[in-house]
Copies of this chain bind each other. A is one copy, B any other.
């Protein structure tokens, strides 16, 4: 059994971290499936998905790390070719990846207590993101 849903998420861009755990858990509950996997996927090449303890300190640490390891301010070939300003956004997104797979059992995501599913939007402007939540199970 496969159930495909979409979440519409409005972000501020610029490393905005959005907690998707609630909506993903609700999609799993709505599916009626007891156990299986949920694949969360962000279409687009300037955002990524991972898990973290979603508290403001850890969020700021993540944002700062990306600013330092892949700075917005250096020269990127992508920007030179296309007149864009978001070369760093592309690079950060490729590194963290667009896809996350989380198992569930008895209708419940098997996350840790302090582990949330997050979208990180690396683009340089506010974006309306359509997130795919696809549930496969029985």
Contacts and interface: CB of A to CB of B under 8 A. Distances in A.
B115 A132 contact: no
Contacts of A102: 41, 99
Contacts of A76: 57, 61
A35 interface: yes
B62 A101 contact: no
What's the dominant secondary structure at chain A's contact region? mixed
Nearest to A75: B61
Contact of A112 (B43, B50, B53, B100): B43
What are the 4 A-B residue pairs with the smallest beta carbon separation, nearest first? A57-B77, A43-B112, A57-B78, A57-B81
Given A43-B111, A53-B78, A56-B81, 10 more contacts: A4-B105, A41-B102, A41-B110, A43-B110, A50-B97, A55-B78, A58-B77, A65-B70, A101-B101, A136-B136
